[in-house]
Amino acid sequence: MSLATRNGTGPVDAPVSPPKVVRQRRMRPGLLGLAVLLIALGGLGAAFAVTSVRATGSYLAVARPVEVGRTVAADDLITVQVAGGRGLAPVSAGRLDEIVGKRAAVSLVPGTLLTDDQLTDDPLLGPGQQQLALGLDPAEVPARTLHPGDKVLLVSTPDSDDDTPAGVATRFTATVIDTAPTGNGDKSVVYLALAVRDVPAVVALSAQDRIAVVLTEAA
């Protein structure tokens, strides 16, 4: 490049600036890996959302308390919508007819999902046992509420016309199957399971109003 001077002298060579080199930015490997990870997580989140929506279904939940040993009725259950449910094994609403009539293996609490482990088909009446019912006055019931599975002891009371010493009594072990109030509400009916050999004696004592019920073990 040449420059002209004011005094008319010849051209003078001037220094030429070197061309500027524009450096290209390099993406750090760490940032690149982070970007890939975020994209992957976004895809997994979308897949999880789709899976959760697809897993939404109708299941059975407990609507009102059901005690251990009680038969489950349709009114004891409600249908709820549950999304996801990973790690759970609730009973689907389509099995309602199958569930009704089974017994509660544990106490069923309102607001909880129903599972197969909470139910049983096993009767409380075991082999070699028979069932009978006793009508008890409120003062004769050994607890405010008897529950299915409670263990009780039936004790004979003295006969006013018998000379047998008061300390001598016959004892029978039994298990509570169910309880129900009578129509007029002045007595409670307790359904018991006891050994076949003890049934005749207990029936005779009950007819004479000579039997007391003692709670020995709560279910």
Total-model pTM: 0.54
Judge whether residue 12 has pLDDT over 90.
no
Q: Supply φ then ψ for residue 154, to 5 degrees.
A: -95, 120
Residue 1, domain member (yes or no): no
Of the candidates 143, 125, 137, the one whose C-alpha atom is nearest the C-alpha of residue 191 is: 125
User: What 3-state DSSP class applies to 145?
Assistant: coil
**Residue 106 belongs to domain with CATH number:** 3.90.1210.10
Residues 105, 134 share a domain: no
| CATH code of the domain containing 152 | 2.40.30
| Domain end position, chosen among 94, 120, 146 | 120
pLDDT in tens, 20-69: 555 555 555 555 566 666 665 665 565 544 444 445 789 999 999 987 77
Q: Which structural domain range is residue 80 located in?
A: 56-120
Amino acid at 123: P
State the DSSP string of 92-123. Answer: BGGGHHHHTTPEESSPBPTTSB-BGGGEE---
pLDDT, tens digit (0-9, with 9 covering 90-100), for 112-143 = 999 998 998 877 778 899 999 999 998 999 99
In a domain, 47, yes or no: no
- Residues 6 or more apart whose CB falls under 8 angstroms from that of 54 comprise none
Distance in angstroms (rounded) separating the CA atoms of residues 67 and 105: 9
